[in-house]
Amino acid sequence: MSGLLAKYRTWLDLPAYTLDITLHEGGTPLIPMPRLAAELGGGLELYVKYEGLNPTGSFKDRGMTAAISEAAGRGVQTVICASTGNTAASAAAYAARAGMKAIVLIPQGKVAAGKLAGAVAYGAQVVQVDGSFDDALGLVVELSHRQPVALVNSINPYRLEGQKTAAFEILETLGGAPDWLCLPVGNAGNISAYWLGFQQRGARPRLLGVQAAGAAPLVLGQAVEQPETVATAIRIGRPARGEQALAAAEESGGRIVAASDTAILAMQTRLAAEGVWVEPASAAGLAGLADELSAGRLDLQGRRVVAVCTGHGLKDPEVITGRMAAPQVVPVDLGALERLLAD
Ligand SMILES: *Cc1c(COP(=O)(O)O)cnc(C)c1O
């Protein structure tokens, strides 16, 4: 067992001084989804790359092992990021592993419970900004120019280097490229990293990037000042790597589309019905794919499709518990239990 840097170091453009700060991230499963594929009806072969199984529950760990290892190698003592939640938890964990301090800025009241808890548990200093993710990102970029802190948002090129490894793993597991890769798009680092990784190995899957309809600047062609969506991980109105993501989608012969919150939540439920529980943003890629198929805009007959499910369902329990009634209560009585189950 080793971490991603040890495994893929020769493929990653990292300075020689980079250390290896790892929690043994990566190596996530590519799960075949034949029932969902049949329901979608396009005759496709479908796999989910389940990134929720990384150490802190999202794909952010792939980029963070690289960014923190680089920062540690040049003696940085404090890292900072803006986050919709998962970057915060990941930065906090890898900083802790490296013996560094982490400062994370999050949009006030907009971060899912499991992510905030993670950042606190790993010992980060958490600051809420009375503004959006985009406002928080603006602040940390400026602060990192003034103070001796390393910025570990995906503007940091080493984040993308680490995140390329997911593309490598897919190619190795499938023994070749999928025809399509669908994934959620927020700040647009991940889709950019996949494209870099695939290209580096001479692979050219078509990319279907999916934004939430209430936070779809790349679909609308302009910034969204007040992005709103249940998929908090992609609640971003000014993607830092927007241009790069649009170029990647176009070069690949794919595109970036938007999916409604209703479609995203329906796909989250559908995935869980097959044993794969993901946070809402993680269902966006497949929600977009389902929309495109049902509108007849995609022909996937006999095609191999990989959907990237970026984060674990445990990250955002309130999306489920907030909508459900409390489970029924029975007395400690077998008859009462049998009557309840018979209803
Ligand atoms: C960060 C994140 C995204 C969006 O990734 P970008 O690189 O910002 O486009 C999607 N889903 C989850 C769960 C995330 O944590």
Ligand 1 atom with least separation from CA of 183 = 10
- pLDDT tens digit string along 3-48? 999 999 999 999 999 999 999 999 999 999 999 999 999 899 999 9
Q: What percent of the chain has pLDDT over 70?
A: 100
Any atom of ligand 1 within 6 Å of the Cβ of 182:
no
Give the pLDDT of residue 286.
98
Give the pLDDT band of residue 242 (cuts 50, 70, 90).
very high
Atom of ligand 1 nearest to the CA of 190: 7
| Listed residue (342, 304, 294) closest to 41, CA to CA | 294
Q: Residue 249's pLDDT is what? A: 98
- CB 229 less than 6 A from any atom of ligand 1: no
CA of 39 to the centre of ligand 1 (A): 26
If DSSP states are collapsed to H, E and C, what string results for the chain?
CCCHHHHHHHHCCCCCCCCCCCCCCCCCCEEECHHHHHHHCCCCEEEEEEHHHCCCCECHHHHHHHHHHHHHHCCCCEEEEECCCHHHHHHHHHHHHHCCEEEEEEECCCCCHHHHHHHHHCCCEEEEECCCHHHHHHHHHHHHHHCCCEECCCCCHHHHHHHCHHHHHHHHHHCCCCCEEEEECCCCHHHHHHHHHHHHCCCCCEEEEEEECCECHHHHCCCCCCCCCCCHHHCCCCCCCHHHHHHHHHHHCCEEEEECHHHHHHHHHHHHCCCCCECHHHHHHHHHHHHHHHCCCCCCCCCEEEEEECEEHHHCCHHHHCCCCCCCCCCCCHHHHHHHHHC
Distance 187 CA to ligand 1 centre (A): 7
Residues 179-200 have a mean pLDDT of: 98
pLDDT the model gives residue 287: 98
| Cβ of 134 below 6 Å from ligand 1 | no
Residue of the CA atom closest to atom 2 of ligand 1 = 233
CA distance 2 to 118: 23
Residues whose CB falls within 8 Å of the CB of residue 59, separated by 6 or more in sequence, listed in order: 51, 163, 166, 190, 308, 310, 311
Ligand 1 midpoint to CA 281 (Å): 7
Check if 151 has its Cβ closer than 6 Å to any atom of ligand 1. Answer: no
Q: What is the pLDDT of residue 42?
A: 80
Pocket test for ligand 1, best of 163, 195, 238, 310 (most atoms within 8 A of CB): 310
Question: Residue with the nearest Cα to atom 1 of ligand 1?
Answer: 233
| Residue 169 CB less than 6 A away from ligand 1 | no
C-alpha of residue 326 to centroid of ligand 1, in Å: 31
Nearest residue (CA) to ligand 1, atom 4: 186
* CA proximity to 79, closest of 111, 112, 123, 113: 123
Q: How far apart are the first and last CA of the chain?
A: 50
122 φ/ψ sector (left φ>0, alpha ψ -120 to 50, else beta):
alpha
Query: Cβ(267) to ligand 1 under 6 A?
Result: no
Statement: residue 124 has pLDDT above 80: yes
Average pLDDT over residues 70-94: 97
CA angle in degrees (0–180, nearest 5) for 243-248-253: 130
Going from the Cα of 334 to the center of ligand 1, the distance in angstroms, rounded, reads 47
Ligand 1 mean position, distance from CA 112 (Å)? 13
Report the 10 Å Cβ neighbour count for 39. Answer: 12
Check if the beta carbon of residue 46 is closer than 8 Å to that of residue 305. yes
Mean pLDDT, the chain, whole residue set: 96
- Ligand 1 mean position, distance from CA 108 (Å): 18
C-beta 60 within 6 A of ligand 1: yes
Testing ligand 1's pocket by substitution, the residue of 104, 132, 190 carrying the most ligand atoms inside 8 A of its CB is: 190
Neighbouring residues of 171: CB distance < 8 A, sequence distance ≥ 6 = 177, 198, 201, 203
Q: Is the pLDDT at 174 greater than 80, yes or no?
A: yes
284 in contact with ligand 1, CB cutoff 6 A: no
**Does residue 1 carry a pLDDT above 70?**
no
Quote the CA–CA distance of 59 and 51 in Å, as a whole number.
5
Tokens coding 165: 């490894």
Distance 332 CA to ligand 1 centre (A): 45
Q: Distance from the CA of 327 to the center of ligand 1, in angstroms?
A: 32
